Chain A
Amino acid sequence: MTTLHPRPSTPTPASVTLAPTSAPDWLTVIRHAARLEFAHLGLPQARAEAWRYTSVQPLEALTRPTPPYPDAGRRSSAAPLVAAWASLTPCSLVLVNGHFVPELSRIAALPRGAVAGDLKTAVADDLPSLKALFDLQTHDPGRGLTALNTASFVDGVVLLVPAGVEVPEPIQVILIQVGEGTPTASQPRLVLSLGPESAATFIETHLFATTTPVAANVTTQVQLADGARLEHLRYCENAPAALHVERTEVTVSRDASYASSVFLAGGALSRDELCVALNGPGAKVVASGLSLGHGRDHLDAQTVVEHHAPHTTSDQLYKAVYDDHASGVFAGKVVVHPGAVKTDARQSNRNLLCADTAVADTRPQLEIYADDVKCSHGATVGALDPQALFYLQSRALGLDAARALLTRAFAAEALARVANPGVKAAWQRELGRRLGAAEGFPS
């Protein structure tokens, strides 16, 4: 009935690195190639178009060594955070500083043939479908960070769902950063593969149990076979000293559908890159995002959607609220390749600036090489509508309450697209808490 990795009873040594001997030859080759590729590509350069509005200087931190397996003290400091979020789903896998921690993870029964577990064990077992996933290549200058991750990841999470299987409960991976004495950078790797006509929900929750600077470079690879359906939800907690960069590469086959939602709740530098290739007719992606920036946060949401096949659909809605000195970026590119006729691509980006000193930069892009298509994008930046504020004030709401209510309504639209009810409720709660919840209104 259940296949889970690793066996919960497996003792975990205090310091684990992926020993070359435990890795299959093909992975050693791929990692070696990635090392060379990273040596060639390096970190993104300041003049790179994809990094136009985000400073590349902090990225230097990502080349630090990966942290060792967290000691008992660090594992226990992660426990309260796990407890707060693990209730979302019966199955949650916990990575602390990029290492899988079995005693914090909760394992539930999965349908026959489905695998959810840590990557290191999966690699050691040399699961046959893994190789194909690592072979996935995209040609993008952003690959430098992916190559860095491939070359240096220690552990991660793998989700494999065989043909025709629907996983009823969402699988959650909780990634926690705990401060280390010496500066380190964790490189978690998440690998998801859904077989034909299968379905799953995958939640990533990134949390920080530290105020010291930490850095993480997450790479997620998603492969959806014909007719597969995945809801992929990413939440990134506010961390004033954290550098968080995540790149998700998705391939969507015929009639498969991929739904992505990302909630960036803050961070010194938090960047979510989503690259989706719609490779088969009828493939579909629905992506939404919400960025909430306070203090000196810098939040960056990037999407690239490539329509390679006819009759493909993409629909994106990204919203952002920036307060104080926060700044944020949205860059969304839609490419319709030759032959991808009957493409329907929509994209919308809306930004709300709440303070004089907040900054929003947005760069929606359309590149279209086929004629029979319907593509549109829209972007707005502005403050709250004074008339709407006036209306609420004339209904006896204080100015602050009116602002909070309108801001919340603005932001909530992005969360409305989350299908999983548990996550939607949790995220809405977070939103309410962060916006100082319009007092006296139900959250």
Chain B
Amino acid sequence: MTTTLKELGLTDYKFGFVTDIAADSAPPGLSEDIIRFISAKKHEPEWLTLWRLKSYRHWLTMEEPRWAHVRYNPIDYQQIIYYSAPSQRPGPKSLADVDPELLKTYDRLGVPLHERALLAGVAVDAVFDSVSVATTFKEKLAELGIIFCSFSEAVQTHPALVQKYLGSVVPQGDNFFAALNSAVFTDGSFCYVPKGVRCPMELSTYFRINAAKTGQFERTLLIADDGAAVSYLEGCTAPMRDENQLHAAVVELVALGDAHIKYSTVQNWYPGDKNGKGGIYNFVTKRGACRGARSKISWTQVETGSAITWKYPSVILQGDASVGEFYSVAVTANHQQADTGTKMIHIGKNTASTIISKGIAAGFGQNAYRGLVKIQPGADGARNYSQCDSLLFGDKSGAHTFPYIEVKNHTAQVEHEATTSKVSDDQLFYLRQRGLSEEDAVTMIVSGFCKQVFRNLPMEFAVEAQKLLSMSLEGAVG
């Protein structure tokens, strides 16, 4: 190749502004007192306070996992601020009550929060640091019986539902970061779609880490009752800061009989600067349970940000003939590292799963796919197809594949394929001689490479993802 592409992803982070709002924070550090403080701040019932404390005590006995193919300096969990809420009048009743600075922030992010929300037809639950700021379209959804609100609100208004499902997919002691999250989670989104209801619009959450030295520990719980269907969008950004910030979220999805959940993420946390300084540590536990027959959970993720990504959106296929899907594009440029993939646990009969993972590594980026496909003895007729492709730019980047395939049923059919290559000179030459600039040619090849994933994104996100990708590619060709 004549031109180097190693500068892929060198464009500046466009969302790196800090919003100056007085924040109501806890002192840094973690102790039972802090957890009680968070719980008290959020006026939580006693069972939840105890649940948090139990998680914390379990977390104390756990060790930080070291098996992921990523490197980072030890995290000092006593330096993190576990609670940071933008201080404002209590309980915003409408958008007019919300701090205009905040709204301006979302404006710059392009979140369709205000009237644009109406135009875009998107109901947004925006999480700013740790507290959900405002939720749009709530009334409209309420007419259908759909509950869509911040997690803390759900704890107040629908405690029975929360208590029933919280921790039922990702138990408190599931892993180190999930246990930490269970102890200190501050807010997040809650959604319940009742029996037979198809949610008429895309639901969306926008996360943003604003305050310095804060960790964001949000908790999302999404339940689709029998025959319900919902499509959920999640986007993430964070301002530029020199130090690393921890983001340890937990997402739990529950799909009952014939329910469909589509969960899409565009993750664009601050990836750190060109020398790998700063950036978000994105250590997230995402898991869905297909509890009922013929239920379906589909994860789609576009991971372009974060200094380190460590997440494995998984599906537990309990119900017979349930379906799990995972579509992922992960881009690591500069010094970014990603160890991401999925777990498909086949328990029910005739369950099916599809895994499509596309990794792009540039600069010093390290991109690993790690996945588990497990077929339990009772999963007759289970079917899995996995495809993991990696595209490399520059000889300092790395692409790795660590699939685990465990089959305990002989009627199962499991296929895994992985390839790694760079953009071929032939492809580039062909496009160049058709009059495309090298940059356009690379963009075209990369979007072709990611197409299988992008076409599974809802419209709004597909546009954003394409934009993010081409932004990363700007200046890639020198």
Residues of A at the B interface (CB closer than 8 Å) are 49, 53, 338-339, 341, 351, 353-383
B405 touches A382 (CB 8 A): no
B403 touches A364 (CB 8 A): yes
Give the contact stretch, choosing among B17-25, B80-88, B317-325, B411-419: B411-419
In the assembled complex, how far is the CB of residue B390 from the closest CB belonging to chain A, in whole angstroms?
7
Which of B398, B400, B406, B419 lies in contact with A376, CB distance below 8 A?
B419
B395 touches A338 (CB 8 A): yes
List 21 A–B pairs whose Cβ atoms lie within 8 Å, in order of A's numbering. A338-B395, A339-B395, A353-B410, A356-B377, A356-B409, A361-B405, A364-B403, A366-B390, A368-B392, A370-B392, A371-B393, A373-B421, A374-B421, A376-B419, A378-B418, A379-B403, A379-B405, A379-B415, A381-B407, A382-B412, A383-B412
Q: With a CB–CB cut-off of 8 A, which chain B residues contact A360?
A: 405-407
Residues of B at the A interface (CB closer than 8 Å) are 67, 69, 375, 377, 390, 392-422
Which of B395, B405, B407, B416 lies in contact with A341, CB distance below 8 A?
B395
Q: With a CB–CB cut-off of 8 A, which chain B residues contact A368?
A: 390, 392, 398-400, 420
In the assembled complex, how far is the CB of residue A337 from the closest CB belonging to chain B, in whole angstroms?
10
A365 touches B390 (CB 8 A): no
Which of A356, A367, A372, A377 lies in contact with B395, CB distance below 8 A?
A372
Q: How many angstroms between the C-alpha atoms of A368 and B404 in the bound complex?
A: 18
Given the interface pairs A363-B402, A363-B405, A379-B403, the reply to whether A355 lies near B410 with Cβ below 8 Å is yes
B399 touches A378 (CB 8 A): no
Which of B375, B398, B422 lies in contact with A369, CB distance below 8 A?
B398
Which of A49, A361, A369, A374 lies in contact with B406, CB distance below 8 A?
A361
Q: Specify the main secondary structure of chain B where it touches its partner.
A: strand
B400 touches A366 (CB 8 A): yes
User: A363-B405, A374-B420 are known contacts; what are 12 more A-B pairs with Cβ within 8 Å?
Assistant: A339-B395, A356-B409, A356-B410, A361-B405, A361-B407, A362-B416, A367-B398, A369-B397, A374-B421, A379-B403, A383-B412, A383-B413
Which of A359, A371, A375 lies in contact with B408, CB distance below 8 A?
A359
B422 touches A371 (CB 8 A): yes
Q: How many angstroms between the C-alpha atoms of A353 and B420 in the bound complex?
A: 29
Q: With a CB–CB cut-off of 8 A, which chain A residues contact B402?
A: 363, 365
Given the interface pairs A362-B405, A366-B401, the reply to whether A383 lies near B410 with Cβ below 8 Å is yes
Q: How many angstroms between the C-alpha atoms of A362 and B417 in the bound complex?
A: 12
Which of A341, A365, A375 lies in contact with B419, CB distance below 8 A?
A375
Q: How many angstroms between the C-alpha atoms of A354 and B417 in the bound complex?
A: 23
Q: With a CB–CB cut-off of 8 A, which chain B residues contact A353?
A: 407, 409-410, 412
Given the interface pairs A371-B392, A371-B394, A371-B395, the reply to whether A377 lies near B401 with Cβ below 8 Å is yes
Q: How many angstroms between the C-alpha atoms of A236 and B394 in the bound complex?
A: 44
Given the interface pairs A368-B392, A371-B395, A378-B416, the reply to whether A383 lies near B400 with Cβ below 8 Å is no
A381 touches B414 (CB 8 A): yes
Q: With a CB–CB cut-off of 8 A, which chain B residues contact A338?
A: 395-396
- B395, B404, B420: residue with the most chain A Cβ atoms closer than 10 Å: B420
A377 touches B418 (CB 8 A): yes
In the complex, what residue of chain B is closest to A340 when comparing beta carbons? B395
B420 touches A366 (CB 8 A): yes
Q: How many angstroms between the C-alpha atoms of A377 and B414 in the bound complex?
A: 14
A376 touches B422 (CB 8 A): no
Q: With a CB–CB cut-off of 8 A, which chain A residues contact B67?
A: 49
B405 touches A376 (CB 8 A): no
Q: How many angstroms between the C-alpha atoms of A374 and B390 in the bound complex?
A: 10
Q: How many angstroms between the C-alpha atoms of A114 and B364 in the bound complex?
A: 48
Which of A358, A367, A373, A380 lies in contact with B392, CB distance below 8 A?
A373
Q: With a CB–CB cut-off of 8 A, which chain B residues contact A359?
A: 406-408
Q: With a CB–CB cut-off of 8 A, which chain A residues contact B408?
A: 359
Q: How many angstroms between the C-alpha atoms of A49 and B66 in the bound complex?
A: 12
A365 touches B401 (CB 8 A): yes
Q: With a CB–CB cut-off of 8 A, which chain B residues contact A49?
A: 67
In the complex, what residue of chain B is closest to A352 when comparing beta carbons? B410
Q: With a CB–CB cut-off of 8 A, which chain B residues contact A383?
A: 410-413
A376 touches B395 (CB 8 A): no
In the assembled complex, how far is the CB of residue B4 from the closest CB belonging to chain A, in whole angstroms?
10
Given the interface pairs A339-B395, A361-B405, the reply to whether A366 lies near B422 with Cβ below 8 Å is no
Q: With a CB–CB cut-off of 8 A, which chain B residues contact A380?
A: 413-416
